[in-house]
A and B are shown apart, each in its own frame.
Chain A
């Protein structure tokens, strides 16, 4: 036993000192880290639902929906819209996006892809505001279709990115999957 202590006392002492150091660093930095993690999401919400000053997370009872919904309010507490944080598979790996809809829940007012690893130069153009801008004013009650040509007047369509049809389709799939599950429940939270 004393041989063991003789060989390893330094390891034990260092272990304790280091663990304390790490615990201290963790304590002092964890608030900042959490803030950082939320900031990307909050900035996205403010972008997709213009006029948002603050947002509250709301519970969606539909178990099939695996995302988060936020009620977006302005300064005076008035409802300015809803933001859906939803993810799904993309061509390469996971895509995470935030889609904003108007207070009535009828039209899309914004869309932002916040996480993706699609092919640079092709699939990752789904991040471009020019492309996601196509979703604005689309009808939330009908399925959104992806076509390889400019959208027809009045149709619920977006044009796919040239050379990145799959990535474009996956983004639309995520939106199409999320909207029907969330829309019916919005009234409960007005």
Chain B
């Protein structure tokens, strides 16, 4: 059962770009819309989700020969819920302000389709190295997508990045496109970004073939 590193790397890169969970597979959209009103929120959410998917894939892969088909969804869900609870406790203890802003979306990582998908599609049938490569790729890809949205929305909506104001308060008061940090702006940003990504993918497959 030797996984050659070449294909592990490919698995990792896939999760990052060509199979990006949010922008290509269209999974995990709820947090992509909800917590990207600031870059800080986006990064913390991405980090938490990466932690959960890595642990979930790790445990699933290690125990893969013991998990009976009938109970596998139950086991995946149990594992994911446990690690999400751990992440939630950690954030409430050490990053309290951000955890308040993320609100219910940390526990909602449990129903983030991309995590249970990885366990079902990769971890249950692959070795540990492969599963970890996959998990990190997906997790970082997710964080990447969220961060792009976070940058755009925070910059345009609050005139700041990572809570550091980039313009004077008066400029922001007059010019900030406040709608960007509100729901319509979230939908708009994600729709536009997906449009751009699709366009790039079409060009790549049309031109490169």
Interface string of B126-163 (1 = CB under 8 A from A): 00000000000000000000000000000001100000
Interface check A89, CB cutoff 8 A: no
Instruction: Check A36 against B93 for contact (C-beta < 8 Å).
Output: yes
| Chain B residues whose C-beta falls within 8 Å of the C-beta of A76 in the assembled complex | none
B67-117 at interface with A (beta carbon < 8 Å) = 67-68, 70-71, 74-75, 78-79, 82, 85-86, 89-90, 92-94, 96
A21-52 at interface with B (beta carbon < 8 Å) = 21-22, 25-26, 29, 32-33, 36-37, 39
| Chain B residues whose C-beta falls within 8 Å of the C-beta of A25 in the assembled complex | 85-86, 89-90
Q: In the complex, what residue of chain A is closest to B169 when comparing beta carbons?
A: A128
**Shortest Cβ gap from A85 to chain B (Å):** 17
Q: Which residues in B have some Cβ–Cβ distance to A below 8 Å?
A: 63, 66-68, 70-71, 74-75, 78-79, 82, 85-86, 89-90, 92-94, 96, 157-158, 173, 176, 178, 181-182
| A-B CB contact pairs (8 Å), 21 listed | A10-B63, A10-B68, A10-B71, A11-B71, A11-B78, A14-B75, A14-B79, A21-B86, A22-B86, A25-B86, A25-B89, A32-B93, A32-B94, A33-B89, A33-B92, A37-B96, A119-B178, A120-B157, A121-B173, A121-B176, A121-B178
A interface, over-half SS: helix
User: How many angstroms from the CA of A102 to the CA of B29 in the assembled complex?
Assistant: 50
Q: In the complex, what residue of chain A is closest to B182 when comparing beta carbons?
A: A120
Q: Given contacts A14-B78, A121-B178, could you give 16 more A-B pairs where the C-beta distance is less than 8 Å?
A: A7-B68, A7-B70, A10-B63, A10-B67, A11-B78, A21-B86, A25-B85, A25-B89, A29-B92, A32-B94, A36-B92, A37-B96, A119-B178, A120-B158, A120-B182, A121-B173
| Chain B residues whose C-beta falls within 8 Å of the C-beta of A120 in the assembled complex | 157-158, 178, 181-182
Instruction: Check B71 against A8 for contact (C-beta < 8 Å).
Output: yes
| Chain B residues whose C-beta falls within 8 Å of the C-beta of A8 in the assembled complex | 71
| Chain A residues whose C-beta falls within 8 Å of the C-beta of B70 in the assembled complex | 7
| Chain B residues whose C-beta falls within 8 Å of the C-beta of A18 in the assembled complex | 78-79, 82
| Chain A residues whose C-beta falls within 8 Å of the C-beta of B90 in the assembled complex | 25, 29
User: How many angstroms from the CA of A25 to the CA of B88 in the assembled complex?
Assistant: 11
B interface, over-half SS: helix
User: How many angstroms from the CA of A11 to the CA of B76 in the assembled complex?
Assistant: 10
Interface check A15, CB cutoff 8 A: yes
**Shortest Cβ gap from B3 to chain A (Å):** 24
Q: Which residues in A have some Cβ–Cβ distance to B below 8 Å?
A: 7-8, 10-11, 14-15, 18, 21-22, 25-26, 29, 32-33, 36-37, 39, 119-122
**Shortest Cβ gap from B46 to chain A (Å):** 21
**Shortest Cβ gap from A34 to chain B (Å):** 10
| Chain A residues whose C-beta falls within 8 Å of the C-beta of B157 in the assembled complex | 120
**Shortest Cβ gap from B135 to chain A (Å):** 19
Q: Pick the most buried of A7, A15, A18, A37: most chain B CB atoms within 10 A of its CB.
A: A18
| Chain B residues whose C-beta falls within 8 Å of the C-beta of A122 in the assembled complex | 178
**Shortest Cβ gap from A31 to chain B (Å):** 9
User: How many angstroms from the CA of A7 to the CA of B70 in the assembled complex?
Assistant: 8
Q: In the complex, what residue of chain B is closest to A122 when comparing beta carbons?
A: B178
| Chain B residues whose C-beta falls within 8 Å of the C-beta of A121 in the assembled complex | 173, 176, 178
Q: In the complex, what residue of chain A is closest to B37 when comparing beta carbons?
A: A120
| Chain A residues whose C-beta falls within 8 Å of the C-beta of B67 in the assembled complex | 10
Instruction: Check B85 against A22 for contact (C-beta < 8 Å).
Output: yes
